[in-house]
Structure 1
C-alpha cells in the first residue's frame, strides 16, 4: 500500500521543473490528501535517483540541512546549482521559486 502511495508522490515530484520548489503539504494537497505532508516527507527520504526530492521543502522555505542526496550533496547545494535563490536567513525565496503545480 505505501509503495503505491509513494509512487503517486514520485510522479508528482518528477513534474517540478528545475529552479522551482514545492512544499510537502503542496504535494499532499495535489494528491488530494492535504493532511499527509509527513507521508510526502517519508517518501522523499526514500526517493529513487530519478525523483528530484531536493525540490521539496517546508512551506516556509526552510530546508532539512541533514538531508544528503546521492550521498554527496546537500539540498541547498543542489538548489543553488539550479538557480534557486535564498533569503539571508537561509530559506528559499518562495515567491520567486514556488511551483504552481501540475498542468491539468
Structure 2
C-alpha cells in the first residue's frame, strides 16, 4: 500500500472531478475527514503544477464559486480552462454554481 500524503489524497479527489463540474476546497477537506483544512487543500492546489498524472486544479473554487486561486494560474488561464469545459464564468465567479457543484461526499460515496 502506498504511503500517501495529504496532498496526494487531495490530488486523487480532484482528478475525479468531471469536466464541466467544480467543487470547493472545503468539500474536499470534509471528504478527507479534515473539515477545517480547506486552506491546506488550497496549498495543495498551488503545489500541483508538476504532479503526475496532471491535477485539474482549475475545477476547485471557493464555497461561493469564486475563482480565488486564479492568480496562481496567471492571467485568465483558470477562467479560460473552465470556459473550455463549458463552465460559464462572470466577474471571477462560476455561474450556475449549484447546478455544476460536484460534492465528493456524494459523488464518491461507496
**Equivalent runs, 1:23-102 vs 2, <5 Å:** 23-47=24-48, 48=51, 50-64=54-68, 65-68=70-73, 74-86=77-89, 88-93=90-95, 94-101=97-104, 102=108
Tell me, in whole angstroms, the C-alpha distance in 1 between the residues paired with 2:91 and 2:35: 27
TM-score, structure 2 normalization: 0.80
Could you tell me which runs of 5 or more consecutive residues in structure 2 were left unpaired when the two chains were aligned: none
Aligned residues: 99
Tell me, in whole angstroms, the C-alpha distance in 1 between the residues paired with 2:79 and 2:24: 15
Greater helix fraction, Structure 1 or Structure 2: 2
TM-score, structure 1 normalization: 0.85
Could you tell me which runs of 5 or more consecutive residues in structure 1 were left unpaired when the two chains were aligned: none
Residue 95 (structure 1) shift: 1.3
| Runs of 4+ with >2 A deviation | none
Per-residue deviation, residues 16-71 of structure 1 (Å, max 9, x unmatched): 00000000000000001000000000000011261111100111011133121xx7
